[in-house]
């Protein structure tokens, strides 16, 4: 159990660092009201988790340690649905209703599409 927790911890830490760096990079783009960093991380994270799960579903005997490190740890630390929720509430609070709906639709549609594509790419 300790080994499993360590793998999730390491993966989550790496995912969180990547999320932070991507957020910092995209914070320079001010031409939209919503957070491009969070949107990017959620789409990329959705794609990655699709790839990882597709890979592990192909052969369920694959290394459980790698699953814990990547799908559970890294993707769990990398994706930012909680940040997305705060961003959405801030848009509503500021009266940016059009940006609220654009960000919501893009996040849902592109996130689901990216997950499906990741899963599709790993199917034999």
Q: Are 60 and 70 in contact, with CB atoms under 8 Å apart?
A: no
Q: Please state, in angstroms and as integers, the Cα–Cα distance from residue 99 to each residue in 25, 87, 94, 112, 124, following that order.
A: 21, 10, 10, 20, 39
Q: Tell me: is residue 76 an annotated ligand-binding position.
A: yes
Binding-site residues sit at: 76, 79
Binding-site residues for Na(+) sit at: 76, 79
């Amino acid at each position: 159990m300790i080994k499993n927790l360590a793998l999730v911890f390491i993966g989550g830490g790496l995912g969180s660092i990547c999320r932070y760096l991507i957020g910092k990079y995209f914070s320079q783009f001010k031409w939209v009201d919503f957070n491009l960093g969070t949107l990017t991380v959620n789409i990329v994270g959705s794609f990655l988790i699709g790839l990882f799960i597709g890979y592990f579903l192909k052969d369920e005997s694959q290394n459980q340690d790698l699953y814990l490190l990547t799908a559970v740890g890294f993707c769990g630390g990398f994706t930012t649905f909680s940040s997305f929720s705060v961003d959405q509430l801030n848009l509503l609070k500021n009266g940016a209703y059009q940006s609220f709906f654009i960000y919501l639709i893009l996040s849902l549609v592109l996130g689901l599409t990216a997950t499906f594509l990741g899963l599709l790419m790993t199917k034999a």
